[in-house]
Amino acid sequence: MSPPLFRTVAPLVLAALSLPALAQEAPVWSPPQNVVQLTASGSVEVQQDMLTMTLSTTRDGASAAAVQSQLKAAVDAALAAARTQAQAGELDVRTGNFSLSPRYSREGKINGWQGSAEVVLEGRDFARITQVAGRIDSLSVANVGFSLSREQTRKVEAEAQAHAIENFRQRAASLAQNFGFGGYSLRQVSVNGPQDFVPRPRMMAAEAMAFKADAAPVPVEAGKATVTVTVSGSVQLK
Q: Are residues 180 and 66 in the same domain?
A: no
Q: CA–CA separation, 136 vs 221, rounded Å?
A: 20
Q: Are residues 173 and 194 in the same domain?
A: yes
Q: Is 25 among the domain residues?
A: no
Report the candidate in 160, 151, 144, 142 with the shortest Cα–Cα distance to residue 226: 160
pLDDT tens sequence across 74-102:
999 999 999 999 999 999 999 999 999 99
- Cβ burial of 119 (10 Å; 0-12, 13-18, 19+) is buried
Residue 121 predicted with pLDDT over 70? yes
Q: Is 6 among the domain residues?
A: no
pLDDT tens sequence across 6-61:
454 455 444 444 555 555 566 677 777 899 999 999 999 999 999 999 999 999 99
Q: Is 5 among the domain residues?
A: no
Domain count, the chain: 2
Q: Are residues 42 and 100 in the same domain?
A: no
In CATH, what number is assigned to the domain containing residue 182? 3.30.110
Could you tell me the pLDDT band of residue 118, with boundaries at 50, 70 and 90? very high
Per the model's pLDDT, the better-predicted residue between 161 and 220 turns out to be 161
Residue 144 predicted with pLDDT over 50? yes
Q: Are residues 83 and 42 in the same domain?
A: no
Q: CA–CA separation, 149 vs 221, rounded Å?
A: 16
Range of the domain at 81: 50-147
Q: In what order do the strands lie in the sheet with 35-47?
A: 35-47, 224-237, 184-196
pLDDT tens sequence across 161-215:
999 999 999 999 999 999 999 999 999 999 987 765 444 443 433 344 444 434 5
Q: Are residues 57 and 128 in the same domain?
A: yes
Q: Is 210 among the domain residues?
A: no
Q: Are residues 235 and 154 in the same domain?
A: yes
Q: Are residues 71 and 157 in the same domain?
A: no
pLDDT at 45: 93
3-state secondary structure of 125: coil
3-state secondary structure of 42: strand
Q: Are residues 67 and 97 in the same domain?
A: yes
Peptide bond into 194 cis (omega under 30): yes
For residues 163 and 43, is the Cβ–Cβ distance under 8 A?
Answer: yes
Over the chain, what is the mean pLDDT? 84
Q: Are residues 230 and 117 in the same domain?
A: no
Can you tell me the mean pLDDT for 118-125? 96
In CATH, what number is assigned to the domain containing residue 129? 3.30.70.2970
pLDDT at 100: 96
